[in-house]
Amino acid sequence: MQGDAFVLRAEDETFFIGSYASPAAAIEAHLESFLIADDVAITDETSDWAGVTWFTDATADEVRAALPEGFHFRGRRGGASHWEWVAPRAVVAEVVAGLDPALAISTETMEERRVAAGIPAVPRDIGPGELPQEGGLERDAISFSKGCYLGQEVMARLQAMGQVRRQLLPISGSGAPPAVPATLFAGERAVAKIRSVVATESGWQGLALVMLLHLPEDRRLAVSAGGEPAVTVEVPA
């Protein structure tokens, strides 16, 4: 995994690429390494654009009517229905200035929603040396029907096998959240790496990349080798 982004197509054949967590410089460098057409130019326009996440059950037409300028698309920030609106920074600032400040959601709350929904942040949760399927990204970010592309053979083979050895899974524990990244153990064996954590009312929850073969039946892991199991791994049915 080199990055995770949305590709947005403008009417003039210009394409915009926006990402929640992958640095613009990393995405730009990766695309530049495959640039072979002389009439293609890649520029970083991060400073000129801004975005707003709107948690709403509104339809696409209703969103476009309320926010006519820019791009509108379904986001991946949590389980609740929401839209992303991306437009020139001055336009976004003008709209936001007219909103009730009490409606704003904090960065911490947004992170809690992401973790609770099991949505990986790239490259923090799933990055170089790891596969999209290990983070469940095949549902939203991989095509198994389009033409040839770099890495297609690996993706197709893994899809045919239908199984990964590691998987990004929700975890939870009591007490203060551990510093990340952190290792989790089954006895003396290291079997998981915690990538993200957030505090909850009863303790903390997070996301960890888990070696499925070595996960105990009770799905309980320890924060130290040979330690008392205190972390629960949640395996989807």
Domain holding 63, by residue range, is 6-117
Per-residue pLDDT, 157: 84
Is the domain of 180 the same as that of 103?
no
Q: Give the dihedral of Cα atoms 136, 159, 166, 81; nearest 10 deg.
A: 10
Is the domain of 112 the same as that of 197?
no
Q: Residue 233: what are its φ and ψ, rounded to 5°?
A: -100, 130
Per-residue pLDDT, 56: 94
Q: Which residue has the tokens 């709209």?
A: 95
Q: Say if 153 falls within a structural domain.
A: no
Q: What is the CATH number of the domain that holds 187?
A: 2.40.30
Is the domain of 111 the same as that of 170?
no
What does R_g of the chain's alpha carbons equal in angstroms?
20
Tell me the H-state helices in 37-191.
60-66, 89-97, 107-117, 138-141, 152-161
Is the domain of 110 the same as that of 33?
yes
**Over the chain, what is the mean pLDDT?**
92
Beta-carbon contacts of 94 under 8 Å, excluding residues fewer than 6 positions away, are: none
Q: How many domains does the chain have?
A: 2
Q: Say if 133 falls within a structural domain.
A: no
Q: Say if 135 falls within a structural domain.
A: no
Q: Say if 35 falls within a structural domain.
A: yes
pLDDT digits (tens, 9 = 90+) for 145-201: 877 887 888 888 888 877 889 999 999 999 999 999 999 999 999 999 999 999 999
Q: Say if 130 falls within a structural domain.
A: no
Last residue of a domain, one of 60, 84, 117: 117
Is the domain of 172 the same as that of 80?
no
Does the bond joining 68 to the residue before it have cis omega, within 30 degrees of 0?
no
pLDDT digits (tens, 9 = 90+) for 178-194: 999 999 999 999 999 99
Q: Say if 131 falls within a structural domain.
A: no
Residue 43: pLDDT band (50, 70, 90) is: very high
Rounded CA separation 57/100 (Å): 19
Q: Say if 140 falls within a structural domain.
A: no
Is the domain of 20 the same as that of 113?
yes
Picking from 224, 220, 222, 216, the residue whose alpha carbon sits closest to that of residue 233 is 220
Per-residue pLDDT, 141: 82
Q: Say if 181 falls within a structural domain.
A: yes
The β-bridge relationship of strands 203-211 and 189-200 is: antiparallel
The answer to whether residue 235 scores a pLDDT higher than 90 is no
The answer to whether residue 144 scores a pLDDT higher than 90 is no
User: How many residues would you count in the chain?
Assistant: 237
Per-residue pLDDT, 228: 95
Per-residue pLDDT, 36: 80
Is the domain of 14 the same as that of 87?
yes
